[in-house]
Structure 1
Amino acid sequence: MHSSSYFLLLRVIAVACLGWAVFTARAQDAYPNKVVTIIVPQSPSAPADALGRTLADQMGKLLGQSFVITNRDGAGGTIGVDAVKQAKADGYTLGYGTQSAFSIQPLLRKTMRYQAGDFEFVCQTSTFVTILAVGTKSRFRSLQDLIEAARKAPGTITLGSMGLGSAPHIIGESLAKDARVKFNHVPYRNPGDLVTQLMAGDIDVTVLSPVTIANNKDIRPVAVLAGSKLATYPDVPLLRDLGYSRGEVPIFVGLYAPKATPAPTLARLRQACASAVESEAFKRMSDNLGVQRQYADAPTYTENIRQDIRAMKELIPELGIKPE
């Protein structure tokens, strides 16, 4: 090849490479330029779903693109979280859910396809307030009534939950450990079935959100799992005031992305997430659900996940909950 032709070829290649670099940079700058999917690893009736939809709507408005929710529940949330891990790390598939899929479920399942290190944590948005509840048909008028019955007949009081390692399961077993009693754990797949069975008196106790109790008049709250009383239930005592503080297992929810998502994309998502949490729409939805807005930036959210992993590694064996 003549030297002039050789150098001409090099120039063509250089121009092509430069053009591709410019195209790539513009594509990144344009994020998002198509629909973004947020996978919620819970059912459409879960509080995280309602929060996630509001967050998606607000982030979409801020970034000028549609953010849509897809529900992938099952296996304690691990199915949905694994779907996020398997997705392309380009910012167009995200996850939104509680920390239990990272801190609790890996301890309870013999086969796991992901770990917390497989994700970029974008921002934490909220913490959930929960309430121990019985049905209005129940013979138990208070938590102390239920505890006394459990002491007299170990293993006969039924604790309903959304499955192994779910928040009601961990909270209920923590309470049982604290009160030195034993509950009979009854897992459900559908939240609606759990609530229906509680109201019918087929299970004795479970853990619910304030909005679920407010929407079902046949449910009686017996203890609030929070640091202060709820304005909506001023006469319901705090669990800690009844002498059982161990049941206050934290539940927080946030947005996350696959590992190796580009830094500029993460920066845009984090900025939009922070603004969305401060929006009037998100505040209103949080109030309606009885959820506490508790924004945490990426480093703090990541550390919260790590702390919960450490805490659950101690708590789960102590409660005697075995992997399946």
Structure 2
Amino acid sequence: MHKLPDNIQPSRWKVGENGLEVQWLHDSHLSFYNWDFLETYIKGERPEPENVPLKYFGAAGHPDSSIEYEEFGKNERQAVGRLTDMIRRNGFALVTGVPTETAATTEDLLEKITFIRRTHYGGFYDFIPDLALADAAYTNEPLPVHTDNTYFSDPAGIQAFHLLSHTDPSSGGGSETTLGGETLLVDGFYAAELLRKECPDSFNTLASFRFPCHASGNEGIAISPDMLYPVLELDLDQNTVHRIRWNPNDRGVIPLGEDTMKWYEAEKKYHEILRREELVYQFQLKPGTVLIFDNWRVLHGRTAFTGMRRICGGYLNRDDFISRWRNTNFGKREIFRQVIGE
């Protein structure tokens, strides 16, 4: 028979084989709690999270990482479920066959997952290279792999890109394959596991040493997170990497102390792993294919390019993405078990 902790003293209760019946003082309302629900809280445990085995990727990408846009017209809920589950497990997904006549189609696709997050750059973006925006992303220079929003307390969980067009008027045309701008993706969680195996001390340093980040290149903008964070943020059990913050362009002054040189050595080792040929998935995005990826896990970059590229896309909040993933991949009872332990 189950026994309640001594410090729980409702007005009246009845302990039964299937659960606990409680009558409340203020309105005499009767509540019933089954033992499956109470077990977690009696033991002081957290509800069991989703058991999602992650599929690491390297230079070959993932064989199961794309979905046709037309699937969303046939069964939107099912298609969104497939898309979000690919991103959750694989780190990224490609939606092919997306119309390019207007960026609004891409915006609508992202909003099938959840609302688009606004930042100091705006909401849904549709841009060409523009140095006035004071960000390396708006140039045609190469971008080493990085995560976005390291300067936010809550970096955007999901990011999307759609190459609407890429031309070079000065050369009389050209194609995406000759103009450059290839996309680079690296599985940061996979790289972190390699770091843990090859150099545990460096892994522990990147998981513990905290440093400042900021966004202050634009007039009137001075953004920094609520506190200092490490490169590798671990889960509550301090075992699994939960989120990565990696963007040298956004870093502030590294704190000076007895562990500073250890951090630089660890940073150098992780940087070396991220650049390994077998880890970098390099491919050419083409108009009609939307890339959506986990910004907490996957580092992205690009090679240099010539000509004029028009890119659209946006950020999605992590919590809202996970909510949509749950509700399109699990039944109501399983969702409640994950969220509140019922």
Task: Identify whether the pair has TM-score above 0.5, normalized to the shorter chain.
Answer: no
How does the TM-score come out when normalised to structure 1? Answer: 0.28
Which of the two has greater helix per residue?
Answer: 1
Of structures 1 and 2, the one with the larger relative CO (CA 8 A, separation 6+) is: 2
How does the TM-score come out when normalised to structure 2? Answer: 0.27
